[in-house]
Structure 1
Amino acid sequence: MVGVLSNRVDREDVAAGDHIYSWRAAYIYAHHGIYVGDGMVIHFTRAAGHEIGTGTFLDKFLFSSSPSTVDGPPCQKCGHLIKPQGVIMSCLDCFLDGGNLYLFDYAVSPSFFLAKARGGTCTMAPSDAADLVIHRARHLLNNGFGMYSLFKNNCEDFAIYCKTELLVETSYSVGRSGQLASLTAAFSAVASSPLRFLTTSAGGLAIVTSSMYCMGRYVSDMGVRRDVMKVPVERIVEHWVDNVVAQGATQMEAATPGGSSELPKELAQKESVL
């Protein structure tokens, strides 16, 4: 288990199957991946130069860690392995892109989790064995991890799934990302909580806000939330297609007079393939 103050580790302290990350853009966000040994990392990216993929001006300085975004000749060690987007494999140097190496921590206690004030560094969920983690990462390297989504399916979501085999069931909630849960909790604590009006003192406001922030992070963690399920990596594509079919049926039922649940033609074709 890494320390409360920092998850930073040396390269010799990292083992195959570890969930690692590196901070980007002055610690605004971190890029996550699975270390698979021999100095190689498997990670998930939206596209070259757009790892975050906000669709706003932020994409101009929130870059991907894909070596294909670096000017000059490709990396001699991993340049030939790089795909334009999706689940890719790169060497550790290209993954870090000049940043420091950090180790994501699993099966932490609730007190330790709350002591790590910034999300995206640890979870209360336990990790599976290293060989299973590597198997999932390599399977997804060959078969993909679906469409990149900042809110539901990003690089941290990918790494957490490889470590735990957990996916979020509900379509309306955010994904597994601790970074996003932390941001959502902070926004809710400051802007949305009616409890902030119960006190007028600066100290009382700080206590209320920090309590709401901690509660928001806690209930969003994969180790305690109820809307998750184990999905074997071999069935992950089928799981996503089933969700698309179910969502399409719900939308059609709501939009069609009389509540008809007839599926659109393209969704019906997807269902028939399975």
Structure 2
Amino acid sequence: MGVLSNKISRDALKPGDHIYSWRNAYLYSHHGIYAGSGKVIHFTRGPGQEIGTGTLLDNVIFSSSASSDRSKCPCPVCGDQSNLSGVISSCLDCFLWDGDLYVFKYGVSPVFFLAKPRGGTCTLALSDSSEDVLLRASFLLENGFGVYNIFKNNCEDFAIYCKTGLLVVTDISVGRSGQATAFVAAVSAVVSSPLRFLTTSFSGLAAVGCGLYCVSRYVADIGVRRDVMKVPVERLIGCPELVMPEPTETETKTAKQD
């Protein structure tokens, strides 16, 4: 495991690990928290439900919990999970969906982060203890994690919150997901930046686009961005869309002192 690949063997897994597996020919990845004893807690959407992007992605991204073929032959451990949505617990085989196993890296250096061209594999943010991670995951398994949205509240956002306790304060940007920010960064680098008019050569356009993509990914990482706040998992109750709750009086006083 290194810069080229985050692949990990099952024997190397530890409870509290943030794991993921690629879907649909590496089009996207599904994320979860390894709970130990061969179980994974992860955030899914039900089959046939729109993600709500209003784009073709609604038809491209399929259910992360199970395929229609699997529903015909339910898992002997998990049963038929093809119609489940929200935060669920599955065996490792059902989570992987015949894919390979990868571990999400925390506390990486900026150089390592930028060396990983694909988003959704690592972050500069530090992970909390495995006890805290499993506590959040177990709590959300019982109480839910709001409404699934590919850009603001997806499976990677769920796993990152379990690992860090961080939530995005603003509601005008994408969530914590490296996949979502990488997608937005790629589109911005190609379409939105006025810097693309500074050169007409293919190599120049490629250099400008690559630079903008890397900068956009970096500043949007959960370990760098400023619009985040540590939120106890108990305060998520009653926030179905995960709107940032108002800070407590103690938090307000602490912020003023800082």
Same fold (TM over 0.5): yes
* Aligned partners of 1:18 and 1:34 also within 8 Å: yes
Match of 1:63 in 2: 62
- Trace 1:1-274 onto structure 2 (pairs within 5 A): 2-48=1-47, 54=53, 58-60=57-59, 62-67=61-66, 69=68, 70-79=70-79, 84-238=84-238, 243=243
Counterpart Cα distance in 2 of 1:122 and 1:134: 19
Q: TM-score, length-normalised on structure 1?
A: 0.82
Q: 1:107 to 1:91 in 2, by over 3 A?
A: same
Counterpart Cα distance in 2 of 1:244 and 1:20: 26
> 1:241: Cα distance to partner?
7.7
Counterpart Cα distance in 2 of 1:90 and 1:177: 22
> 1:84: Cα distance to partner?
1.9
> 1:212: Cα distance to partner?
0.5
> 1:150: Cα distance to partner?
1.2
| Percent of residue pairs bearing the same amino acid type | 62
Counterpart Cα distance in 1 of 2:132 and 2:82: 23
Q: CA RMSD in A?
A: 2.4
* Aligned partners of 1:45 and 1:51 also within 8 Å: no
Counterpart Cα distance in 2 of 1:242 and 1:105: 24
Q: TM-score, length-normalised on structure 2?
A: 0.87
Counterpart Cα distance in 2 of 1:242 and 1:100: 31
> 1:56: Cα distance to partner?
5.7
> 1:68: Cα distance to partner?
7.4
Q: 1:243 to 1:30 in 2, by over 3 A?
A: closer
Counterpart Cα distance in 2 of 1:124 and 1:136: 20
> 1:59: Cα distance to partner?
4.7
Q: 1:209 to 1:223 in 2, by over 3 A?
A: same
Counterpart Cα distance in 2 of 1:237 and 1:88: 17
CA deviations 1:40-94 (Å, max 9, x no partner) are 0000012136595656665555322324742324212122788721000000000
Q: 1:58 to 1:181 in 2, by over 3 A?
A: closer
Counterpart Cα distance in 2 of 1:161 and 1:225: 15
Give the 3-state SS of the residue equivalent to 2:72 in structure 1: coil
- The answer for unaligned runs of 5 or more in structure 1 is 247-274
CA deviations 1:13-46 (Å, max 9, x no partner) are 1111000000000100000000000000000012
Q: 1:61 to 1:241 in 2, by over 3 A?
A: closer
Question: How many pairs are equivalent?
Answer: 245
Counterpart Cα distance in 1 of 2:157 and 2:81: 22
Of 31-40 and 62-71, the range deviating more from structure 2 = 62-71
Q: Higher relative contact order by CA 8 Å / sep ≥ 6: 1 or 2?
A: 2
Q: Structure 1 or 2: larger helix share?
A: 1
Counterpart Cα distance in 1 of 2:18 and 2:59: 27
* Aligned partners of 1:81 and 1:89 also within 8 Å: no
Match of 1:267 in 2: none
Q: 1:185 to 1:60 in 2, by over 3 A?
A: closer
* Aligned partners of 2:186 and 2:213 also within 8 Å: yes
Counterpart Cα distance in 2 of 1:194 and 1:141: 45
- The answer for unaligned runs of 5 or more in structure 2 is 247-258
